[in-house]
Structure 1
Amino acid sequence: MNDTEARALLRRMLDAAIAASQPALCIPGQLPEPSSGRTIVIGAGKASAEMARAVERNWSGPLEGLVVTRYGYAVPCERIEIVEAAHPVPDAAGHAAARRMLDLVRGLSENDTVLCLVSGGGSSLLPLPLDGITLEDKQRVNAALLKSGATIGEMNCVRRHLSAIKGGRLGAACHPARVVTLLISDVPGDDPCDIASGPTVADPTTCDDALAIVRRYGIDLPERVLEVLNDPDRGRGESVKPGDPRLARAEVRMIATPQMALEAAARVAEDAGITPYILGDSLEGEARDVGKVLAGIALQVARRGQPFRVPCVLLSGGETTVTVRGNGRGGRNVEFLLACALALGGAPDIYGLAADTDGVDGQEEIAGAVIGPDTLARAWAVGLRPHDSLDDNDGHGFFGALGDSVVTGPTLTNVNDFRALLVLPRRAT
């Protein structure tokens, strides 16, 4: 397999992972039976608009509702209103839509059904702060969390205790209607509480847990936010807890996960005669550290035939983090790849691709990038200094200059990060 063929195979695996997670494929078999009352569709996330369209195409009865998606991710729907808002830092459009959504589900009866469509990105797209907290406060908190190096679970714990809609509050507002939540997971471990900060799911964490996270990462919070988290009565900041009767008629159906996406990619590899190994669907940690570790495994495979024999591909998912110290364009997948390329040191016949399955790595409209044995040599040839790019958190700038960025456009789904390291037999020279 030559260089072009190796890169093409990696891209086919990514495309298969994305295709396996499309709402049009996952939604139809998960819809509930129609009720005698109204059916209201609500939701948020990068995949929520495409999820709404899939619902419309497979639902014959009356339908109404509102979902919020990222700018550029809207699709035409006839009965469900689609609103676009900002991600990852929330804006006024998301704030207004969240308030309207909460109003939409109030006053329902036990004969009504609420169908909630949730995917990754929903936390930023439904920014409805608790009383006493402003949207500007939430924006500051969100920006600080994104730079802190906190895991997605830790970030969402803080978000749940500052929101009037997350942490089960949206589900509680639907009571006594039946609530069916369809989830596309973008979080390690597929915990419903962490997907879009669990707007319809009970939350076992507390304000004390959120405060511990804030202290752990040295996050500077606005005074109004600290007052909510430190409220001795915990009246404002506490989320809806397990066992709350308002969620007695709420159920969750997981329709797409990172593991499903990795298995689809594995089938593509097998068809090409490459043995796939899924190392995990929920790998976390600093992106550059994960890059070094996976590079070390790939080198052991190439040099020693351990723990796997070549040819093989090492697949993994999950969500790494980046502690921002530089002024570059960021991106956790490209940071992973840059660290991986440096650790591989130009080792022959090892290729890699890492991308966010929603098509956006960090805040760039770029999904990720691809590396090969010649990545470092080509970078040095054009005057790039890979170590400096890594120190500056500038993976996007690095791979853009090499023409190795992976651009998918809006994928209309989101099952977290996709990583593949392809280790081939040594070619004769």
Structure 2
Amino acid sequence: MPPTRARAAAAAAFATQGLVFISLTTRLPDFSDRWGLSEVALSMLLLVLVLAAGVGSVVAERVAARHDSARLLRAGLLVMALALPTLVLAGDRAVFVAGIVGYGFALGLVDAATNMQAVAVEHRYGRPLLPSLHGCWTLGGLVGAATTLATATLPLGVTAALAVVPLLAAAAPYLPRVHAPPDPDVVLEAAAVPWRPIALVGAAMVVFYMVDSASAAWGPLYLDDVVSAPERLVALATFPYLLASLVVRLAGDRLVATYGAVPVLRVGAVVAALALAVVVLAPTWPVAVAGFTLLGAGVAVIAPLSFSAAARIAGGDQARVDAVVARFNQFNYVGGLLGSVLTGLAGAGSLRLGFAVPMVLVLALLPLARTFAAVSAPPPSAAGPASSPAGAAPRRRSRPAR
């Protein structure tokens, strides 16, 4: 299969994932009103969603030992297409909860499998591609948010039509695994996988999702309660953040290829810390919005480079890389939970103090960045084992792979 087709398919899967997720989360107030959910009950449902996604990611790790990520991704998208109308059209609360669990499980499968596909495509090209592929998730999220705004006056049931999107995405030409998988009992043999550096990269991804979830969960409330933004404008904590993230992710492939992952991450960490300082000290809501916008640019490439680094550090055959990516994916749920909880607890008295927590924690990326040097090296499947030292400039290619 031409790698361009597989790249387009992976991009479509990421866009689908972002479109569906943001479309549902921006409808949370409608779900809350329909079922009479308190803030505590809604928080518990979100916790159930995250836990179900974690289970889906664990299942993806087990399945990856025997089946390729293309088949796994299609299965996850089909489960998502079934779960969406179930939770949107449910006439009974138990059915609604079952739909939430089903969607969460599908989210974990799709999360893991899209990143497996992205890593495989990136290795086929032999150059950084994950930042722009993750940018497709952000683009899908922006389309989802815009769709919610455009259909805000329509009944909640129209959201069930989103099920068509994962159904169509399931038919895309994803990249199959070329070689037969090895014995699944040895895919994740402890001696074969360098978990310590992978865990360090995972710590960086936890930091990202802590910052990202804090911004998504508490940013609108910060604009509303702390800096007194007009109620109709509190979404400005999210939209400029996503737009800035999209721009940097789409440019991220070239940035990493030109300068290397380590300096790109370190500059991003400093920018993110400064952005959060602007948010914490903002005297007015336009200044806070500028801080959130700058934050989106600073943290944009952390997650895609984390998956890329983990896959390259793991090395070996594609079956083992897929299984490692699925296990690595679970760091994002840890970071998401910690970000929402820590920011909320620290900001119980004042959200300014709550946002000071990620402002400090994001600086942990400065020492952790050296672990990402593997992203600047040729992928094992394309050019043999990586051997460049930490922080070394990437090898230049005479012309880009096509």
Q: TM-score, length-normalised on structure 2?
A: 0.31
Between structure 1 and structure 2, the one with the greater Rg is 1
Q: TM-score, length-normalised on structure 1?
A: 0.29
| Higher strand residue share | 1
